[in-house]
Amino acid sequence: MTLDDVKEELSNQGIAPLRGLKGGGFCNESEEYEFNKLRIRLGADRGQVFVDVFLASAGQWFDLPLLMHVMNQGQGDDIPISDQVEFLLTQCNELVAFVSEPSSLLTVSSAGRERFMRRRESRRQEKPER
């Protein structure tokens, strides 16, 4: 699923972008949406599409696969973008409740730190010894 496919799917659901950006930032292209009190950012960089959700209690963006993992809706980082979009459209109310909860920041931050440590450890194991 490409970024254009995701935009089309959101458009078909009546969800219009708040603003779009082309290059120069953290990715080649991004657009922000608001859907059922949820701020969503779609982005594309180097052929990869990603979805971030704004966590109001933290005042920052988190990637949707991490939130899905914390909410026990998905495993790992390799959740297909089509599954992420389906989750946004079908589980939006649960996601809004989760990101609105002040304690969610601690949960997401802890999960993010664990994921970072796992990735770092796997990279160390992949490096050839000198």
| Structural domain harbouring 119 | 3-126
pLDDT of the residue at 67: 82
- Cα of first residue to Cα of last residue in the chain, in angstroms, is 40
Provide the number of structural domains found in the chain: 1
Q: What is the pLDDT along the chain (130 residues), one digit of tens a residue?
A: 888 888 888 888 888 888 765 554 555 678 888 877 788 888 888 778 888 888 766 677 888 888 887 777 556 667 888 988 898 888 888 887 777 776 666 666 666 667 656 666 665 666 555 5
pLDDT of the residue at 18: 85
36 in the Ramachandran plot: left (φ > 0), alpha (ψ -120 to 50) or beta?
Answer: left
pTM above 0.85, yes or no: no
Residues 82, 126, 122, CA angle at the centre, nearest 5°?
A: 55
pLDDT of the residue at 49: 87
Nearest to residue 52, comparing CAs of 75, 33, 76?
A: 33
Nearest to residue 77, comparing CAs of 92, 90, 66, 61?
A: 66
